[in-house]
A and B are shown apart, each in its own frame.
Chain A
Amino acid sequence: MALLEIKNLCASVGEKEILKDFSLTIEAGSVHAIMGPNGSGKSTLSNVIAGNPAYKITSGSIQFKGKDLLKMTPDERANEGVFLAFQYPVEIPGVSYATFLKQALASKMKYFGEKPLDAVHFIKRLKVRAQALGVTDEMLKRPVNVGFSGGEKKRLETLQMGFLEPDFCILDEMDSGLDIDALKVVSQGVNIMREAHRSFLLITHYQRLLELIEPDVIHIMIDGHIVETGDKTLALRLEEKGYASYR
C-alpha cells in the first residue's frame, strides 16, 4: 500500500482552479521532489495535503495510509503523520517555541490516548534535536517565528519536523532565502530522518537542494498537474533546458 495516493485532484482558491486533475503516488520510505515554475500549483498542493481551509477541493481523492485524508481536519492529518514545513512560517506573538512544541506534542499524545510527556523528558527530547540543528536555548525561549531571520525560521521548521516525527514530510520551498551553510544544516536535518517508514515531498525551484537531499523520484509540475516524472537526472536536464519546452 502506498503511503500517500492522490487521484485526479482538482482544487481552487476563490474562483480560480489551481490543481487540475492532479495524481501522485508516494511509497513509504521514498523521497519525491516536485519542481515547477512559479504559479504551477506547487504550494497549493502542499497546503491542500495539510488541509488549509483556504483551498477548496472540487473533485478527486487523497488516501493517506489507506485513510481518506480529505475527511480529516488539519490537526487530525498532523496527528496521523502529515507534516508541512511552511514556506512562510507564521508568527505567534507571546508563545515561545518550547511552549508551542510542548503543546503540539501533548496534542499528538492525546490523539493517541497517551499521557503528555513530563517536563524533564520533554526538554531532553527537544534539546538533543535542537543542538543538531544549531538551535540555541535562547531561540527556543523566543516567540514562534517572531523576529527570526529567514534561515533561522527554516531551521526551526526542520526542528519541529524532527521533533514531531511525522511519517510524511512536505518541505515547501525549504531552500528559499537560505544561504549555502544554512541549507546544508537543514538538509542534514532532513537526511538523518530518512527511514523505511517515512517519506518526503520536496517542493523546490532549484536543483541545488536536490544535490543535498537526493530524491528517488522527480516530477515536473506545470499548470496544476504533473507533466513528466523521472529519476534525479531529470533535475539536471531541467537545469539546462528550463521549463520552456513543457509549455
Chain B
Amino acid sequence: MSKKETISRLEKITQDTYKYGFTTDVSAETAPKGLNENVIRFISNKKNEPDWLLDFRLKAYKHWLTMKEPHWAKVSYSPIDYQDLYYYAAPRQKEGPKSLDEVDPKILETYEKLGIPLQEQKMLAGVVAVDAVFDSVSVATTYRARLAEQGIIFCSMSEAVREHPELVKKYLGSVVPYTDNFFACLNSAVFSDGSFVFIPKGVRSPMELSSYFRINARNAGQFERTLIVCEEGAYVSYLEGCTAPQRDENQLHAAVVEIVVLDDAEVKYSTVQNWYPGDKEGKGGIYNFVTKRGLCHNRAKLSWTQVETGSAITWKYPSCVLAGDDSIGEFYSVALTNNYQQADTGTKMIHLGRNTRSTIVSKGISAGHSNQTYRGLVKMGKKAQGGRNFSRCDSLLIGDKCGAHTIPVMESGNLSAQIEHEATTSKISEEQLFYCMSRGLSSEEAVSLIVNGFCKEVMQHLPMEFAIEAGRLIGISLEGSIG
C-alpha cells in the first residue's frame, strides 16, 4: 500500500470515529484511535519525516510490543487501554475559545490567583500560543531571530527534524534510548512534537528559554519529546511549564526529555508542573509518566529544579549521568500532593567519571488523602574515584490521612566515594497555625506560608518570576487541605 493510500484509508477510519460522537470536524488533525504501525506511519507522514526517523519509530514500536508496563512504583490506577487513546491530535480550528470571554471563568480565576499576566493567561487558555506545545503540535516560538544571531536554535522538534536533521539524528535517543523503559519506548514510537534547543560552543544563551505544554484534546495522550544539546562551554537555562484543562477521564502524558551537556557546559532545567490533578474525589487528572535524563561530559553541570503540584499520578525521576570527570549533577524538587493525588518521584545520580559531585534536595508535601514516595538512586561506579553525593529528603504531612515514603538506594562501587543521606518527616503543628492566624492570616494563607517556608531551599533555585508563580501555585494547590 502506498503512503497516499494509507493516509486516505486512515482518514476514512478517522471520519468513522468522528461519527461516534465528535461534534467538531477533526478528521484531518487526529490520528485514528489506538496504536499500530499504520498510526505511526500516519504521524510520520503528517510531519513529512525522513525515513530514518520513521525507522526509529517503528523499531521502538516493535520493541514496545515486547515490553510490559512497569508496576514497581508506589502508585495504583486502573489499567490503561493503549488502544483507546489518540496518539496524535493537532489543534482544531473550531474548537477552543477565541477570546478570553469564552474561557471558563474558573480557569481564568486560577490564572489570576497565580498572578499570570493577561497575555500569558490568553496563552494558557489556548487563545494565543507563544512558545507553546498545544496537544501534539508546537504552535509558535518567539525570539527566534534574536537567538539565531548567536547560532542558538530554539524550535519545535518537527522543525528541527526538517531543518537540522543532522543534529537530531546525532543526538535523538543518545541519552534515553528507545529501549530504556516502557513509557520512553512508547514515546519514541509516537512522539508528535516538543522542543529542540541547540546552544553552540562557547555561547551563553542571552535569555531563559521557555516552553509551555498543554493538553487540550479529550482522550489524547501527549508524547512530547524535548532534546537539548549544549555544546562545549555553552550555557542555557530552560523553563518548562505545564497545564491541562479539567477532564473527567484520565489523560496519559508520557514525555521524554534528553539533555546532552558537553565539556564545560551548563544546563539549568526548571519545571513547574501543574497538570490537572483530578477533582476532590480523585476523578480525572493527568497520568504523568515522564523520563528525563541528562548526560554530562567532562566538567559539565546539569541542574534539575522541579515544582510538581499537578497530575493525578506522577512517575518521574529526572536523572544525571555523570560520565565525564569533574561533572556535577543537581536535583532540587518540591512535590506537593493533595486530595487523591499520587506521586512517586525522585532522581538518579549515576556517577561514572572521577571526582563527580551530586546534590539532591527533595521536599515532599502530602495533604488530604494523597500519597507520596521519594525514590532515589545514587550510584558510584568503579571508576568514579572521589565521587561525592549529598542527599536530603524532607517530608511534610498535612492532616492524618496522607502518606509519605522515602526509598533512597545507594550503591557504591569504589571505596573513595562518599555518599551522605539525611531525611526528616514532620507535620505542620497546631502552634504554628495558631501563631500565623493570630497575626491575621487565614488558615489557608498560614498553611501556604508555612509550606513555602519549608520549600524555600528549592524555590530559590528557580528563576525569579518562576519562583513567584510557583509559590502562588503551592498556595492554590493546598486549598481545602485544612479543616
Contact = CB atoms under 8 A, between A and B. Distances in A.
A24 interface: no
Contacts of A54: 430, 434
A17 interface: no
Interface residues of B, number: 24
A155 interface: no
Interface string B437-463: 111111101100110111111000000
A172 B436 CA distance: 17
B352 to A, nearest CB: 35
B434 A92 contact: no
Contact of A75 (B430, B431, B443): B443
B438 A74 contact: yes
Given A94-B453, A94-B456, A84 B438 contact: yes
Interface stretch (A103-111, A118-126, A216-224): A103-111
A52 B434 contact: yes
A89 B436 CA distance: 10
A196 interface: no
Contact of B437 (A74, A91, A92): A74
Nearest to B483: A53
B432 interface: yes
Interface in B71-120: none
B143 interface: no
A108 B456 CA distance: 24
Contact of B440 (A86, A90, A99, A107): A107
A93 B437 contact: no
B393 to A, nearest CB: 16
A94 B450 CA distance: 8
A135 interface: no
B438 A95 contact: no
A133 interface: no
Interface in A75-104: 75, 77-79, 83-84, 86, 89-95, 99-100, 103-104
B454 A93 contact: yes
A79 B445 CA distance: 14
A50 interface: yes
Contact of A164 (B440, B442, B449, B452): B440
Interface of A: 50-54, 73-75, 77-79, 83-84, 86, 89-95, 99-100, 103-105, 107-108, 111, 143, 160, 164
Which 3 A-B pairs give the minimum distances between C-beta atoms?
A94-B453, A95-B453, A94-B456
20 contacts: A51-B434, A53-B430, A53-B434, A74-B438, A75-B438, A75-B442, A86-B435, A90-B429, A90-B432, A90-B434, A91-B432, A94-B455, A94-B457, A95-B450, A99-B449, A100-B436, A103-B449, A104-B440, A105-B440, A143-B453
